[in-house]
Amino acid sequence: MSRLDRYAEQISDLLNYLRDQIEARPEVTDSHFTEDGIVIEYDDHGRRALARLTMTGLVQELMEAIDDGDPRAYLDDLLAGSLPGRDDDLGDRDLAVVPVNREDVNETLMPLRRKIIDGLDAVIVFDQPTRIRFARPVDLERAGVSEQDAWDDGIRNLSRLVEVWTGGHGPQRCAALITGDSNDAARGLLCPNIILRLVQEAQISPPWMLAVPSRDIAVVTSAADPKHLLAFTEQCASDYRAARHRVANRPIVLDEQARPVRLVSFDELG
């Protein structure tokens, strides 16, 4: 039995759920479900617009969302990212930036992206109390915010609140961001001033390695001890496999200013 066969019934139910959600959107004027995909016609503030979802990509992502345990939330995010809605000003929503593993990038859902290092992208989002929504150029246009200002605001918002933990001794000493808002990986990757201050206060000697296996984990340590680095990397890989929103399966090498450079190489692990 193929993976698709195992998930066929759930996918059928989820597509029916998606159809109901599309039909319930007041801006949608027509929609067509075919074997190739979904075409949605909608009123974009007085203009006729189309949104297209390819069935092959949608089914693959639905299987992954089923594995993650919350496929309806994925469909809600997908629909929110494809249609403008009626409340798409920035309002009281905070802009933020989240890191995304390149393998998990959805071109339609995540249009505002920048490269962090090879294999990792940063994506602009609206950070809401219970979820995030990926921002689109039209959202920024309607709010009168340039893309560069959105990036700057999103990164600035990450640094407003930071909580930390330190532990261990000598070359095994570690420091972690433990803010608890699912943005700590972004802080570790995109706010080098936070990490530089953290390693200085925790007295962690360079060279530094940063583990960001999921969006809510950021741990920095020294790479001076090869045995410790190997154990640190194994823990990063384990946390990555268990993560719902995975980021990097290996620690990331930081430069002297605590900026991300690249994933640690297998040669460095011995």
pLDDT per position as a tens digit, 12-34: 899 999 999 898 888 888 998 98
> What is the per-residue pLDDT for 99?
96
- In eight-state DSSP terms, residue 204 is P
Question: CA 115: distance to chain centroid?
Answer: 13
**pLDDT for position 87:** 46
C-alpha span between 145 and 147 (Å, rounded):
7
What are the angstrom distances between the C-alpha of 41 and each of 28, 50, 52, 194, 262? Answer: 6, 5, 9, 45, 42
Question: What confidence score (pLDDT) does residue 94 get?
Answer: 80
Minimal CA–CA distance to 213: which of 195, 233, 227?
233
The pLDDT, as a whole number, for residue 86 is 46
| pLDDT in the model for residue 88 | 47
**Token digits of residue 70:** 């919350």
Residues counted in the chain: 270
pLDDT the model gives residue 85? 54
Question: Containing H/E element for 187?
Answer: helix 184-190
pTM of the model: 0.70
Q: What is the pLDDT of residue 93?
A: 55
Helices then strands (H, E): number in the chain?
Answer: 9, 13
User: E strands within the chain?
Assistant: 28-33, 37-44, 47-54, 94-101, 113-117, 120-127, 132-134, 164-167, 174-177, 208-211, 218-222, 252-254, 260-263
Let me know if 166 is exposed, middle or buried by CB neighbors in 10 A (0-12, 13-18, 19+): middle
Model pLDDT, residue 139: 81
Here the tokens at position 83 are 């249609």
User: Tokens for 51?
Assistant: 């949104």
Residue with tokens 């949104």: 51
Which residue's structure tokens are 């997908």? 78
Stretches in the chain below the pLDDT threshold 50: 86-89, 91-92
Contact 214, 223 (CB under 8 A): no
For the chain, give the longest Cα–Cα distance. 64
